[in-house]
Structure 1
Amino acid sequence: MEERRDVWTAGEAYERYMGRWSRLVAGEFVEWLGAEEGGRWLDAGCGTGALTAVVAVRGRARRVVGVDRSAGFVAAAREAAPAAAGFVVGDAGALPVREGAFDAVVGGLALNFLPRPGAAVAAWAGAVRPGGLVAAYVWDYAGGMAFLRCFWDAAVAVDPSAAALDEGRRFPLCRPEPLRVLWSGAGLADVVVAPIEVPTVFGGFPDFWEPFLDGQGPAPGYVAALDAGARDRLREALRAALPVGPDGAIALTARAWAVRGRRP
């Protein structure tokens, strides 16, 4: 199957597809960090600003800057930004900031989409002061992200060539040991990796299926490339495979792996 570039440009479509779940994980992540309040934070690969907002409000940051290469995402993030948050369009893998400018650099659900994640984490480490925090989280695509696991299992059953696009296969980084190695390799100390799990409850099959039609991200990008017949076959395979409750709701869970370390 032809390789496709992942599309991340439309804030509203992203919110329907992933944003509602990424906000839940962002809250748990900031609680897990337990960072001191009042610091200077940078959110690398901020997307539509879910983590930036949580850092500003629940992390009580004095200032938090969100950086993302998607102008559409940055525009969406600015619309509902807390007073302490600001956003710029830029490369999360090569931050345009001075050495030691921040108390913490964090990244939510972005690291595996960067072309050089090792170089990115090294840049993040350089952007914090000595003793500063560098932390991130990524979805457990291989096993713990249930709604995507259901999607790709159904897609491969209908079209075996879809296996090449499965994020569980594409992103081996999104597991505890590779994350630990990445953080240690950037010279960070006191490295800890932990799971974060949140509920993903869909009101019914349309609530599950329709966000896959908006083209934002690998799975929706795959759906967008299908002809009408193949798309219908995938839809019905998913409908048959999902655990639907008596009220029509589809109750699943999503797990992310979180990692943190400090600059010596």
Structure 2
Amino acid sequence: MPSAPDSSRLAVLIDGDNTTPSIIEALLAEIAKYGSATVKRAYGDWTTPNLKGWKDVINAHAIQPMQQFAYTTGKNATDSALIIDAMDLLYTGNLDGFCIVSSDSDFTKLASRLRESGKTVYGFGEPKTPRSLVAACDKFVYLDVLRSSEQPERPSELVNAAKAPARKSSKELRGDGKLLKLLRDGVDAGSDDDGWANLGNVGSYVAKQQPDFDSRNWGYAKMVDLVTAIGLFEVERPPGQGVLVREKPKGTPATKTTAKKAVL
């Protein structure tokens, strides 16, 4: 993940049928890490009762509502409008990337097409999002990791909203074979002769292999916290070199602090 906001110009295209308005503030704060949201549009049939909660959010965040009447049963009209606008922006918008906010697999081909044109694609959706859409993005963020900063507009949303992922214990992390393989491969790909790798480079490698990789999926705000909690990697912060990490030699026990956390 980027360590600081950059000057990338991004188009934020929101599928209103598949997104709750209460997540928008946290969503835009997340997007600000990747660049500037120069285009912000939300798509849906705003005449329907189920989208009435969007009005205040749209006004507060200067999001342009794109009206799309449901001429036929289903949500294909909204999806088509978003896709057409994205292609128009691709050729006329002078943009560096696109943020597609939806859990709908219908946007898989769109994401692939935008990337083929050299644009960075960030996806945002629920854990139910099909793998095809996740894999088509450069990075995919699950909305439930943003829930901790979400402010529901109505009490009912507290009941329906998905909870932020619970923090995994050290023991659970060490039992996650897929996670360990990703991290070990990342360290191996960027390590020097002594086995040390810059954690930022490890993160970039892992994200390319798995677009939805995010330390928050395991309940850790930062990747360094996740790696440290596992207890199988050495972590150092030499001056001027950022965070360095390497795998502990075989047979080396987990650190005392990590072992204690695993027991609790």
Larger strand share, 1 or 2 = 1
* TM-score for both structures, normalised by structure 2: 0.37
* TM-score for both structures, normalised by structure 1: 0.37
Select the structure of larger CA radius of gyration.
2
Higher RCO (C-alpha 8 Å, min separation 6): 1
